[in-house]
C-alpha cells in the first residue's frame, strides 16, 4: 500500500524524517512526500474538507497511491482532529501544545495508525478515553494517553482478528499498524520523539515484555539454563538463570529487567538487594543481577557494590559476541 504525506506552511513538522522512520518499521506500507503547500495569510483558517479534496485531486495523481494524508495547523470548525474518506485524510494539529507536550510527529503516527485501523474495521469506537487506538477522543487531551499507551484493547483486537480472517489482505496492514504503535509507545512514554528510532534502531522492537525476552536470550547465548516469569520464595522473578562453573559448582541468579527512560537509581538497587537477600537466605539462589536499558546512577553503582548486586547496561550486553562464554554470572 502506497501512502503520500503532505503538509502546508502553517505547520512545522519534518515529514522527511517521519517517512524515514515509517519506511524503516513498516514492511507492507510505503511512504512518500509531496512538496510543501504554501498558505498565505488571507487563507481561511478553517479547513473545508471538500475544497481541499478538490485541490488535492487536481494536484496529485492518486492512481499511483492508495492514500494521501495532508497535515496542517489550520482547524476544523468543529475542532476535530481529522476527517477522511477512502482516498484522502486531512489532519488538523491546531493548538497542539494545549493537549500534550509530545511532539507533533508522534501525533501523526497515532492518527496514521487510526486511519489504517479504520480501513480494517471502522465500526469500533470508545467514547471514553482508554488509551486504545479506537478511542474517539471527545476530550482532545486524551491524545497524550493514547500516544503513550498506543495499543489496541482486547475487545477491539478480537473484532480485528475476525476482519482479518474474512480478508487476509488486512493481515499485513495490521502487522504494520502494530509496528507503528510499538514505536510510538516506546518513545512517547519516555516523552521522546519517534525520531529517536533513527538514532536507536533497537527501541522500535522493544517494549516491557520484549526487553525481558532480549535479556533472557542474551543469557541463553551464554549456554546457561534460563527460566522467565517464575515465582521464587513468594517473589515474581523476571529471569532466573543457573550455570555450572568449571569447578562443578552451580550458581543460581535472579535477574531484574528495568526498561526505564531514566537511569536506575539506588532505591531500586536497594529494594532488589533486599529481595535477593531474602531468597538467598531461603537457599534458592546465590546472586542477583539488574539489567537496565538506560544504565545506572553513580549512587546505584555504590549501592550495588555494597550489596553485591551485579549491574549490567543493556547496550553492553546487546553487542556481546554470541560465542563469548565468559558469563557475567560467574564474575565476582
pLDDT of residue 326: 40
Q: Are residues 212 and 201 in the same domain?
A: no
Q: Are residues 170 and 247 in the same domain?
A: no
Residue 191 lies in a domain: yes
> Grid coordinates in use for 38?
504554501
Q: Are residues 112 and 228 in the same domain?
A: no
Least reliable range by pLDDT among 39-53, 72-86, 93-107, 176-190: 39-53
CATH number at residue 255: 3.40.1350.10
CATH number at residue 161: 3.40.390
Residue 128 lies in a domain: yes
Residue labelled with grid coordinates 513468594: 234
What does the pLDDT look like over 35-45, one tens digit per residue?
A: 888 876 656 78
pLDDT of residue 40: 67
Neighbours of 271 (CB within 10 A): 11
DSSP code string of 284-307: S-SEEEEEESS-B-HHHHHHHHHH
For the cut 60, the answer to whether the pLDDT of residue 128 exceeds it is yes
Listed residue (101, 94, 278) closest to 189, CA to CA: 101
Residue 330 lies in a domain: no
For the cut 50, the answer to whether the pLDDT of residue 46 exceeds it is yes
What does the pLDDT look like over 322-331, one tens digit per residue?
A: 433 344 444 4
Q: Mean pLDDT across the stretch 295-307?
A: 93
> Grid coordinates in use for 200?
536507536
Determine the structural domain holding residue 306 and report its residue range.
208-318
How many domains does the structure of the chain reveal?
2
Q: Are residues 72 and 170 in the same domain?
A: yes
- Picking from 183, 205, 227, the residue at the C-terminal end of a domain is 205
The percent of residues in the chain predicted with pLDDT above 90, rounded, is: 65
Give pTM, 2 decimals. 0.66
Q: Mean pLDDT across the stretch 280-300?
A: 93
Q: Are residues 198 and 212 in the same domain?
A: no
- Picking from 146, 175, 205, the residue at the C-terminal end of a domain is 205
pLDDT of residue 55: 83
Q: Are residues 84 and 193 in the same domain?
A: yes
Amino acid at each position: 500500500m502506497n501512502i503520500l504525506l503532505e503538509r502546508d506552511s502553517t505547520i512545522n513538522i519534518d515529514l522527511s524524517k517521519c517517512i524515514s522512520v515509517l519506511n524503516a518499521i513498516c514492511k507492507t506500507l510505503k511512504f512518500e512526500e509531496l512538496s510543501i503547500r504554501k498558505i498565505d495569510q488571507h487563507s481561511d483558517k478553517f479547513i473545508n474538507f471538500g475544497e481541499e479534496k478538490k485541490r488535492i485531486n487536481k494536484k496529485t495523481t492518486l492512481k499511483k497511491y492508495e492514500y494521501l494524508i495532508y497535515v496542517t495547523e489550520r482547524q476544523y470548525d468543529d475542532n476535530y482532529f481529522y476527517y477522511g474518506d477512502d482516498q484522502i485524510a486531512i489532519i488538523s494539529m491546531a493548538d497542539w501544545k494545549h493537549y500534550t507536550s509530545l511532539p507533533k510527529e508522534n501525533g501523526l503516527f497515532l492518527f496514521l495508525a487510526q486511519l489504517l485501523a479504520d480501513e480494517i474495521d471502522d465500526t469500533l469506537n470508545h467514547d471514553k478515553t482508554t488509551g486504545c487506538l479506537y478511542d474517539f477522543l471527545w476530550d482532545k487531551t486524551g491524545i497524550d494517553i493514547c500516544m503513550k499507551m498506543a495499543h489496541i484493547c482486547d475487545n477491539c483486537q478480537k473484532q480485528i482478528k475476525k476482519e482479518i480472517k474474512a480478508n487476509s489482505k488486512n493481515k499485513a496492514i495490521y502487522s504494520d499498524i502494530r509496528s507503528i504503535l510499538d514505536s510510538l509507545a516506546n518513545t512517547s512514554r519516555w516523552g521522546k520523539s519517534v525520531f529517536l528510532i533513527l538514532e536507536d534502531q533497537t527501541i522500535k522492537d522493544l517494549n516491557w515484555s520484549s526487553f525481558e525476552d532480549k535479556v533472557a536470550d542474551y543469557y541463553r547465548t551464554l549456554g546457561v539454563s534460563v527460566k522467565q516469569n517464575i515465582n521464587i520464595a513468594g517473589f515474581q522473578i523476571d529471569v532466573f538463570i543457573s550455570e555450572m562453573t568449571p569447578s562443578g559448582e552451580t550458581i543460581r541468579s535472579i535477574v531484574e529487567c528495568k526498561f526505564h527512560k531514566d537511569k536506575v537509581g539506588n532505591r531500586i538497587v536497594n529494594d532488589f538487594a533486599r529481595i535477593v537477600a531474602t531468597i538467598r537466605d531461603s537457599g534458592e539462589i546465590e546472586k542477583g543481577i539488574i539489567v537496565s536499558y538506560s544504565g545506572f546512577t553513580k549512587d546505584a553503582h555504590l549501592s550495588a557494590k555494597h550489596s553485591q548486586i551485579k549491574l549490567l547496561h543493556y547496550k553492553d550486553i546487546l553487542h556481546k559476541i554470541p560465542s563469548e562464554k565468559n558469563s557475567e554470572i560467574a564474575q565476582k
